[in-house]
Structure 1
Amino acid sequence: MEEMEEMEEVERVGKALKRTQGPYQWAMYDNWERLKRHYSDNPREVLVPLTTNNDTVLHVVAFAGRKDMLEFLISLIKEARQLHHALTMENGQGNTALHEVAATGNLEAGMLWVGLDNRVRIELARLDLHQNGARVIEIRNQLGETPLYRAAAFGHTKLAKYLATQVVDDIELHFQRHVDQVSILHIAVIGQHFETAVWLQKEYQNLAERKESNGFTSLQLLARMPSAFQGKFRKNKWKMLIYKCTIYSMHNTKANYFYNIPINVPIFCKFNNLPRDILGWPRIRMMYKEMQKQKSLLELTHLLVKKDHSWVESKKKMDGTISLVPSHDRGEEEEETRPIHKYTPLLMATSTGIAQIVEKVLQLHPQAAEAHDIDNQQNILHIAIKHRRLQIFKLVKKSKSITLRMAMKNDRDGNTILHQAAYMRYYSANTQRVGGPALQLQEELRWMVRVEKIMPPHFIMHHNHKGLTAEELFNSEHAKLLQSAQEWMKGTAQSCSTVAALVATVVYAAAYTAPGGYDSNGLPLLRDSAFFVTFVITDTVSLISSLASLVTFLSILTSPFEYQDFYRSLPFQLHLGFTLLFFSLVTTILTFTATIVLLIHLRKKWTTSLIYVVAFPVPVLGLMQLPLYKGFSQGLKYAFKKTRKIKFSICPASGS
């Protein structure tokens, strides 16, 4: 029986919607004139639903942001009570037309709707007609959102400001939705509408202290958004160049607008200011909006950090003592991984790697450096190290006194900061941004050495509650990575040595086959040509570099592949072998070019053209190998840099 009733209801709604499919299509495809003619002839259908969500034409037009169409449709409703019903009519989600206007940010349409509501209420009061419900600006949808809340959620600051001025009762009713207790500042931060969030925090400063149902403040939400602090144009050098030039130009045309953005641009940008109509260019306009967004983000960070004192929550504890012998084994108990939402904003920003928030907290609240996680008793240095946050690590390291104080703290499980560096629980290859297991292991070894440098010497042999030193913990945690690095390094060396041997064979054979042949005395016929000299030189260089590359890769294959080998020698040999192999390939191409030119006796212009054609792969190949040279330069840097020897055996000969 119930199924029959449901089927009948569905059929009834379907037939009703079929009658309005014309107006729906005209609205969806912006055929506004046809829509006007239809409702001019059928004014009573203005309040008839067009969609399965019970959206009327007023909802659809409001979402399209058409103020002129709203004025026309409202003019078709003459009776005051019916007009009040049209203004406050809700769709299936509880949204009025003003909610839809708030989503689009049309200020004029919002002013029109609020003004109409005020006039209708006055008219109904004059006629002594009973008014039901709240004002249209105070109506909440099913999520508990008012139009003001919804305007802030979509980042429409101007409309949100206007709606805030129209609130005559308690404005607190507009600051939080009842479904999940997300405040109006929370929703602006989640949507990354930082200009709106800055206005809200400046105007209503108590919003920074509000928490949503999971216990997050707005600063905690911001601390979980590392992508927001990463400029879109920082990864591309050319875009970054234009970005900086644009900043400089805007800095000159708009006084002090970018006062908090460092202006460090190439010299030629200072002498060639960008044109005044630069914002007409789509890409430059996008960069300009990104600059405004970053400016608002930094300002919002400052405002929220200034109001935050959660770092004071840390409780005092007894400092762990140094243990040079294995302590009582706590069994299989693992270090508790605390849910990140229980962290304070400072610790949360440290774990996610947002150095801007950490720096601002330490700037405004210097004592926050002493803060630590209450449960695990880990300070920001512990968290930065275990999450491999190098930028924050360097930030904390600026003060030797603070660094030493934090480095002497042990966490709940007796782990020093060196133990944190040995753990791989929070390890991510994306954080290191290096390719290949061997280079990843090298970065891990460097990270251990970097942390060891700030450790008190007597902490190095400390045993945690599981009876492990940092060395033993590192070896057990990285055993699988060591195995992968060994296999990867062997496979790479074998493949490259094969290529190097092949190149050496080719150029060796070419050395005894002079282009053009030999005379009766056994001398090359073309020995007086400049291209023959080029052929001899490039062939010799190619043979030497390919053989040197082969020797380098063979030396890798004969390595014991222990931890200490991956710290410096093996990565350096790999970069050196790659470079020599690359150089041998380039000189082989030049040898081939010189040979072709010597063999073809054409006019000069044809010879020149041929040189250009044949030599074209050389720069292309060079551009493709730029990452290789970058890696090689890093290898040279670490190979010849004067670093002290590792004082403890994180690289044991056994490799265990």
Structure 2
Amino acid sequence: MAASSQALPQKPDGFSKYRPLYRAILAANWDEAQIFFNQNPAAIQSPLTNNLDTSLHVGAKAGNASFMEKLVSLLLDHELGPRDAYGYTPLHIAARHGNIEVADILVRRNSNLLYLHNRRGLFPIHCAVRNHRKSKEAFLYFLGVTRDDEYGQPNPYAGPTGVSILVNLIVCKFYDLALQLIVRYPDLGGHKRTRNDISALDAIVLSDCSIINNHNLNFWQSFIYHCVSKAESTTSTPIFHLITSLLQWLVGKSIVNKMVIHHQVVKLLKCLCDQLKTLNDTQVISLTEQALFDATSLDIWQVILNIAEAYPMSVYFLNSEKQNILHVSVMIRSENVFNLVCGTSVLRTFFPDYRDINNNNVLHFAGKLAPPHKLNLVSGAALQMQRELQWFKEVKKITPSYFLSYRNKDGKTPSMVFTEEHKELKEAGEKWMKETATSCTIAAALIVTVIFAAAITVPGGNSGENGLPIFSNHNAFTIFAISNAASLFTSATSLLVFLSILTSRYAEQDFLYALPKRLIIGLVTLFLSIIFMMIAFSATVYLEFGHNRRGVLIVVAAFACLPVTSFVLLQFPLLVDLVSSTYGRGIFDQRGFPQLPF
């Protein structure tokens, strides 16, 4: 009976008499269930719930193979495929819950169950892909028993239904299985699934976290990346597994698995894009246009490169707002895509001339405020403002000077857009800078006060005969004098620098270099003043109480490291971020990016 012809019962209370049977099936209590069947023979095939679940559905969900073997033996082969209210058969349910043994019992009795679809056109293999246990074994079982050439049966791997399997494998991050499927059925790369109108290429973009940007890897990660790349290129599977196992033992499982998954996705992406070369323009545009702009928004440059290599004209696609990939990359702050485009000289010259439907040029997009998820990659409103100014400055490099005077549909120049969009961020940056400078000013002033007093009242006092310090002939006193003076000078410098931050005019351009540079100088000098102060204090304690006992010096020095370490742990990350963002290589580096075809 067709699933669409079934309707939900109007009186759910009518199923209350089946509750003992339902509980018996869930508990895999065959004796109790058999007693119920003997008293109510029709209950074997009758719906037990308002969802039209039969005993087979409930048993397939419970997953007890022994119970299901006995239950199936009471039914004929053609009676093993009852449908619930949504058209699911018991085999669908077993697949969805990853109950392979139950599924095998049903398939051995009636293999035609593999080719019955539910009301949405999904076969049991579709349910096996996204099983609740997230088990690859469940899918591999159904892949092994579901044929594409079964006489008189539909082919689950053809067209939209096949694409749906592939898409679900990608969504579940079973990339190795997706690669197997696309190798067996390469045509799947040229279709979309009916539901949600999504292609395998779109699905890869949506699982963007699986693609690694190898330009952002550190030394060890780059080394592992290189090793996995070499191992992946070998034709010997045992050698590949041996190399990855060794790397897992050396550096940990997590990072190696991430690299392996990345290479699986890249191979899958290449297979899908190779299929584009066999399609006509209309088909390619339908499959790639949305994926291209989604990849731009998510900053997955590898997707854009592979699509462009298969269909070079894709780099000139425009979205519904008449924006190209350069516009979108600047607006969303996708630095990798921006570097990819700008690394190709022809596109770097040609793309900025485009304007969207609101007459915005690329500088107008640079003037817009970055999305929150991009702003939050940088700590502190001041550094966020600096990053925004860096974007505007970098985009200005690839545009003619007269672009600054261009007005959009609202009559605003790029500079006007930047000022208006970043008004609140600028105020927040000013507040953050002042609060940071105020806190550090208090610390610097306290150090100046203490160190100045220590210079006047030297350890041990002065001699009554000549007025010179009593311990002036000791090496420890020399260390005290030098470190005390150094602490005073550096803390005074820090104090003045932080005061200059408090009295700054806080213009937009000040956030680019002036304010970060002052904050760097202030933090460095404050850090040095703390170190010198601890050295001076340690020398004083040694002179007063040490009496040439090294143990006292070791203990004092150990405790003196505590405030220095605290400063490093609490403030050093901020200092590193400031130096890196102000004087580092930055995010705009086209080296290492390949040339886009055009």
Q: What band does the TM-score fall into relative to the shorter chain?
A: 0.7 to 0.9
Q: How far did 1:508 drift?
A: 1.7
Q: How far did 1:569 drift?
A: 0.7
Residue identity opposite 2:363 in structure 1: L
Partner of 1:385: 330
**352-361 vs 618-627, which moves further:** 618-627
Equivalent pair of 1:177/1:183 in contact (CA under 8 Å): yes
Deviations 1:607-635 (A, max 9, x none): 53453344345335424433133124226
Q: Does 1:600 align with 2:581?
A: no
Indicate how the Cα distance of structure 1 residues 222 and 61 shifts in structure 2: closer, same or farther if over 3 A, else same.
same
Q: 1:582 aligns with which of 510, 515, 527?
A: 527
Q: 2:444 aligns with which of 456, 477, 500?
A: 500
Fraction of identical pairs, as percent:
26
TM-score, length-scaled by structure 1? 0.72
Q: 2:431 aligns with which of 467, 487, 507?
A: 487
Indicate how the Cα distance of structure 1 residues 477 and 624 shifts in structure 2: closer, same or farther if over 3 A, else same.
closer
Equivalent pair of 1:417/1:451 in contact (CA under 8 Å): yes
Larger helix fraction of residues: 2
Equivalent pair of 1:353/1:389 in contact (CA under 8 Å): yes
- Within 5 Å, give how 1:463-612 maps onto structure 2: 463-521=407-465, 522-601=467-546, 604-605=550-551, 607-612=553-558
In structure 1, the residue corresponding to 2:405 is in which secondary structure?
coil
Q: 1:296 aligns with which of 264, 285, 310?
A: 264
In structure 2, the residue corresponding to 1:165 is in which secondary structure?
coil
Q: 1:360 aligns with which of 306, 325, 333?
A: 306
Equivalent pair of 2:60/2:90 in contact (CA under 8 Å): yes
Q: How far did 1:514 drift?
A: 2.7
TM-score, length-scaled by structure 2? 0.79
Equivalent pair of 1:578/1:628 in contact (CA under 8 Å): no
Q: How far did 1:405 drift?
A: 1.0
Equivalent pair of 1:152/1:196 in contact (CA under 8 Å): no
Q: 2:199 aligns with which of 205, 214, 217?
A: 217
- Mapped to 1, the partners of 2:44 and 2:359 lie a distance apart of 71
Q: How far did 1:473 drift?
A: 2.4
Partner of 1:102: 95
Indicate how the Cα distance of structure 1 residues 526 and 414 shifts in structure 2: closer, same or farther if over 3 A, else same.
same
Indicate how the Cα distance of structure 1 residues 508 and 171 shifts in structure 2: closer, same or farther if over 3 A, else same.
farther
- Within 5 Å, give how 1:191-210 maps onto structure 2: 191-208=172-189, 209-210=191-192
- Within 5 Å, give how 1:305-344 maps onto structure 2: 305-308=273-276, 344=290
- Mapped to 1, the partners of 2:256 and 2:61 lie a distance apart of 27
- Mapped to 1, the partners of 2:216 and 2:317 lie a distance apart of 33
- Mapped to 2, the partners of 1:449 and 1:550 lie a distance apart of 32
Equivalent pair of 2:330/2:366 in contact (CA under 8 Å): yes
Q: How far did 1:303 drift?
A: 2.6
Equivalent pair of 2:225/2:259 in contact (CA under 8 Å): no
- Mapped to 1, the partners of 2:127 and 2:453 lie a distance apart of 76
Q: How far did 1:276 drift?
A: 5.9
Indicate how the Cα distance of structure 1 residues 620 and 234 shifts in structure 2: closer, same or farther if over 3 A, else same.
farther
- Mapped to 1, the partners of 2:516 and 2:237 lie a distance apart of 43
Deviations 1:362-393 (A, max 9, x none): 233333222222x3221111111111111111
Indicate how the Cα distance of structure 1 residues 639 and 346 shifts in structure 2: closer, same or farther if over 3 A, else same.
closer
In structure 2, the residue corresponding to 1:549 is in which secondary structure?
helix
Indicate how the Cα distance of structure 1 residues 136 and 157 shifts in structure 2: closer, same or farther if over 3 A, else same.
closer
**187-196 vs 564-573, which moves further:** 187-196
Partner of 1:248: 227
- Mapped to 2, the partners of 1:463 and 1:586 lie a distance apart of 54
Equivalent pair of 1:258/1:295 in contact (CA under 8 Å): no
Deviations 1:533-584 (A, max 9, x none): 3333332222221111111111122222112222211111112212222222
In structure 2, the residue corresponding to 1:625 is in which secondary structure?
helix
Residue identity opposite 2:19 in structure 1: L
- Mapped to 2, the partners of 1:597 and 1:511 lie a distance apart of 16
Q: How far did 1:38 drift?
A: 6.3
- Within 5 Å, give how 1:32-51 maps onto structure 2: 35=29
Q: How far did 1:396 drift?
A: 0.7
- Mapped to 2, the partners of 1:174 and 1:274 lie a distance apart of 34
Deviations 1:289-320 (A, max 9, x none): 43443222212222333344899679xxxxxx
- Mapped to 1, the partners of 2:434 and 2:481 lie a distance apart of 34
Residue identity opposite 1:397 in structure 2: C
Q: How far did 1:61 drift?
A: 6.2
Indicate how the Cα distance of structure 1 residues 629 and 226 shifts in structure 2: closer, same or farther if over 3 A, else same.
same
CA-based RMSD of the aligned residues comes to 4.3
Indicate how the Cα distance of structure 1 residues 99 and 221 shifts in structure 2: closer, same or farther if over 3 A, else same.
same
**166-175 vs 385-394, which moves further:** 166-175
Partner of 2:130: 153
Q: How far did 1:147 drift?
A: 0.8
**242-251 vs 587-596, which moves further:** 242-251
Q: How far did 1:531 drift?
A: 3.6
Equivalent pair of 2:96/2:128 in contact (CA under 8 Å): yes
Indicate how the Cα distance of structure 1 residues 486 and 612 shifts in structure 2: closer, same or farther if over 3 A, else same.
closer
Deviations 1:175-222 (A, max 9, x none): 6899xx983333333333323333333333343321445443332343
Residue identity opposite 1:422 in structure 2: G
- Mapped to 2, the partners of 1:229 and 1:275 lie a distance apart of 18
Tell me, which stretches of 5 or more residues in structure 1 are unaligned? 1-5, 28-34, 119-134, 262-272, 315-340, 641-656
Indicate how the Cα distance of structure 1 residues 173 and 611 shifts in structure 2: closer, same or farther if over 3 A, else same.
closer
Equivalent pair of 2:205/2:291 in contact (CA under 8 Å): yes
Residue identity opposite 2:265 in structure 1: L
Q: How far did 1:404 drift?
A: 0.5
In structure 2, the residue corresponding to 1:183 is in which secondary structure?
helix
Q: Does 1:88 align with 2:81?
A: yes
Residue identity opposite 1:350 in structure 2: T
Residue identity opposite 1:74 in structure 2: E
Partner of 1:331: none
- Mapped to 2, the partners of 1:243 and 1:342 lie a distance apart of 30
Q: Does 1:137 align with 2:83?
A: no
Indicate how the Cα distance of structure 1 residues 575 and 241 shifts in structure 2: closer, same or farther if over 3 A, else same.
same
- Mapped to 1, the partners of 2:32 and 2:545 lie a distance apart of 80
Q: Does 1:419 align with 2:419?
A: no
- Mapped to 1, the partners of 2:230 and 2:66 lie a distance apart of 42
